[in-house]
A = this chain, B = another copy of it.
Amino acid sequence: MNNQFQILKGNVVFTPKFGQMEILEDSYIVIAGKQVKAIYRSSLPEKYRNIIVTDYGSALIIPGFVDLHAHAPQFANRGLGLDCELLPWLDQYTFPEEAKYQNAAYAETVYRQVVAEFWKWGTTRVVLFGTIHKQATVKLMELLAAAGLGGYVGKVNMDRNSPDFLLETTRQSLADTEEFIQHTRNKYELVKPIITPRFVPACTPELMKGLATLAQKYSVPVQSHLSENTGEIELVKSLHPECRHYAGVYEQFGLFGRQPTIMAHCIHNDDAEIALMAQNNIYVAHCPYSNNNLASGIAPVRKFIRSHVAVGLASDIAGGHEVSIARAMVMAVQVSKLKWLESNKQDNFLTIPEAFYLATKGGGSFFGKVGSFEEGYEFDALVIDDSALSGSSGRDYSVEERLNRFIYLGDDRNIAVRYVAGRKIEQP
């Protein structure tokens, strides 16, 4: 269907710029192959008159959600062990669960549920951590691709400060990663590998250097964690007293922006780090649910935006328990209000049009032209049928109010149809 036209009709909403919401009521979206060609209000040009229109009536049509950071193998741990901070939580809950992914059958069982869950909640693109296990991670990519979802997926690297059952040798870790990249980089259209050092404490300098070499050799992007928890930051400082800051460790080993790079959390970065992040085009995966659950703190999103650091939203399953990126939007707004109070009302809190951008184009831009309905963007979309949202009778709502109600009150039951790169995708 590469050059085929499709036309959809509905109430179209998207955010071409941070905070700028476009609302096009009763409009037609013309899609050519995978991409948005144009949007027309009220009537279609003559040249499209022969194409059948899929009319979604009064439904909303919005970009699909992008989740910039989640740990697929922690899916079965959601909602458990949340009375811990990061480091004990990793030891007691996360690592024992991840060890199970050596078992391919267990991996497939849970990964099928993970993929179905992203579909369910309207997440059309994901950036995922797997485990150290190559086979399970390839399976995850295969399932995502089969479902028609887009994503970057990483085989995790860990060669120090990790439990025996998750510890790799440096050599094996690098060899497995190279094999993983070779095996997957051209295998799927929308699912690609990403280099994934777990975080500085779990990776030796040799490993980090080797991964940087692989990233460059194969032009593969990079993801890791940065400045999530004060205990973690102290640990990094004690491991790398030679570095000015946490970001500097990734930087000195070539993992901080030479390839497109996502850093999850970024709660406690100082100004020098933020300047380096901006300079190196680092993406911040903002994970407000996780940061609350693990008592990590509130990321300074407004400051990142002001400093020209790119930000997207993320679930961080299972530090975060909610797969829904709509709920991540709400939480991002809520914690930004607490941050605003903390700053004596200096750093304005996020608005819904701003959070909507982060949830769509903000994270989507990591994938290229994704997350918007501007011309040339890959058509990832959700059709929102809010007719059954409680409280919707007795009163009229504007399209913008309906969008707000879906974001605040809706769930998977209100997502009627999902598209990824121009293709309607069915429940996996």
Binds B, one of A29-37, A157-165, A407-415: A407-415
Which residue in chain B gives the minimum CB-CB distance to A408? Answer: B79
Determine if A133 is an interface residue (Cβ-Cβ < 8 Å). Answer: no
- Checking B82, B113, B340 against A295 with a beta-carbon cut-off of 8 angstroms, the contacting residue is B340
Shortest distance from the beta carbon of A195 to any chain B beta carbon, whole Å: 28
Determine if A48 is an interface residue (Cβ-Cβ < 8 Å). Answer: no
B295-A337 in contact (CB<8A): yes
Query: Interface readout for A62-87 with B: 1 if CB under 8 Å, 0 if not?
Result: 00000000000001101110110000
Shortest distance from the beta carbon of A293 to any chain B beta carbon, whole Å: 6
Question: In the assembly, what is the distance between CA of A297 and CA of B117, in Å?
Answer: 33
Determine if A202 is an interface residue (Cβ-Cβ < 8 Å). Answer: no
A interface, over-half SS: helix
Give every chain B residue within 8 A of A83 (Cβ-Cβ).
Answer: 349, 351-352
A113-B321 in contact (CB<8A): no
Binds B, one of A175-183, A239-247, A386-394: A386-394
Shortest distance from the beta carbon of A151 to any chain B beta carbon, whole Å: 19
Given known contacts A292-B338, A298-B338, A349-B295, A394 and B113 CB-to-CB distance under 8 angstroms? yes
Determine if A341 is an interface residue (Cβ-Cβ < 8 Å). Answer: yes
Determine if A46 is an interface residue (Cβ-Cβ < 8 Å). Answer: no
Given known contacts A292-B334, A349-B295, A76 and B395 CB-to-CB distance under 8 angstroms? yes
Q: Which of A235-276 contact B (CB under 8 A)?
A: none
Determine if A109 is an interface residue (Cβ-Cβ < 8 Å). Answer: yes
B295-A341 in contact (CB<8A): yes
A78-B391 in contact (CB<8A): yes
Given known contacts A113-B390, A334-B292, A80 and B349 CB-to-CB distance under 8 angstroms? no
A117-B338 in contact (CB<8A): no
Question: In the assembly, what is the distance between CA of A109 and CA of B75, in Å?
Answer: 41
B80-A404 in contact (CB<8A): yes
Which residue in chain B gives the minimum CB-CB distance to A78? Answer: B409
Shortest distance from the beta carbon of A14 to any chain B beta carbon, whole Å: 19
Shortest distance from the beta carbon of A375 to any chain B beta carbon, whole Å: 30
B409-A292 in contact (CB<8A): no
Query: Interface readout for A371-409 with B: 1 if CB under 8 Å, 0 if not?
Result: 000000000000000000011011100000100110111
Determine if A207 is an interface residue (Cβ-Cβ < 8 Å). Answer: no
Question: In the assembly, what is the distance between CA of A297 and CA of B338, in Å?
Answer: 6
A residues neighboring B (CB under 8 Å): 75-76, 78-80, 82-83, 106, 109-110, 113, 116-117, 120, 289, 292-295, 297-298, 321, 330, 333-335, 337-338, 340-341, 349, 351-352, 390-391, 393-395, 401, 404-405, 407-409, 411
Closest 10 CB pairs of A and B: A79-B408, A295-B337, A292-B334, A109-B394, A321-B408, A79-B405, A79-B404, A76-B395, A76-B391, A110-B394
